[in-house]
Structure 1
């Protein structure tokens, strides 16, 4: 992952207007009040014995932590925010505002900052869809408060 490019994408998302309807963008997806950037995506793990998946998971966590250091220099220490309770509520049929609702289905936790300049939340997390599916390093920019 290129940290400079990832920071540029996050900066762009902090400055851009959100779309009126959910759309696919050049960086990922966006909707009313939120944008998600897919900063890095691994290969899938269909033919893996588990070794490559563990190594990739460690690399994606390391990339997230490296980017966390750079964002911490800008906005101070992040909050560590678990999305488990959001997932529990979603499974029970309670809807939570986007982007938190759909994010909780594949990202267990995020590092979370509030940008005073942009007035938006910035969340950074690693998507873990399933044993055979790729990892993704995601950045979410939103004006929707965390649940």
Structure 2
């Protein structure tokens, strides 16, 4: 998905009403107070090919950085937010709400903004932690503040 299309999707999700129930669908999940969508996915990289997986991950991170730069032009540049603390807190039994729990398990770093005037949070990250899963560029829009 190109950057212009991603930005349009951000705007759409910032304006759209959240669903009443949790559900998953091809490329994402949604529930009360959040949407998580897959912007890009590396196909069949879980089955091996470590060099290809590494190159694909680098490409996805570059796309995330380019998109983060454009979103940062709207709502300000923010330092990346590491997810290790979220994983540690969950490991200690703390309840972390979605979409933050899922993003924390799947990504190492998120770019996060407060989307004004909608008052929603926008998060962008590359899900590449699990070598048994495909790499994905994820976008989340939520009314739930980061933990």
TM-score (norm: length of structure 1): 0.92
| Structure 1: unaligned runs, 5 residues or longer | none
Shift of 1:128: 1.4
Determine if contact 1:83/1:104 at 8 Å carries over to the other structure.
Answer: yes
Shift of 1:122: 0.5
Q: Could you tell me how far apart the structure 1 residues matched to 2:104 and 2:5 are?
A: 25
The aligned counterpart of 1:125 is 125
The aligned counterpart of 1:53 is 53
The yes-or-no answer on 1:68 pairing with 2:68 is yes
Q: Could you tell me how far apart the structure 1 residues matched to 2:27 and 2:58 are?
A: 23
RMSD of equivalent CA atoms: 1.5
Shift of 1:59: 0.1
Classify the secondary structure of the residue corresponding to 2:112. strand
What is the total number of aligned residue pairs between the two structures?
Answer: 146
Q: Which runs of 4+ in 1 moved over 6 A?
A: none
Determine if contact 2:79/2:111 at 8 Å carries over to the other structure.
Answer: yes
Alignment of 1:37-116 (within 5 A): 37-45=37-45, 46-48=47-49, 50-116=50-116
TM-score (norm: length of structure 2): 0.92
Determine if contact 1:79/1:113 at 8 Å carries over to the other structure.
Answer: no
Shift of 1:14: 0.3
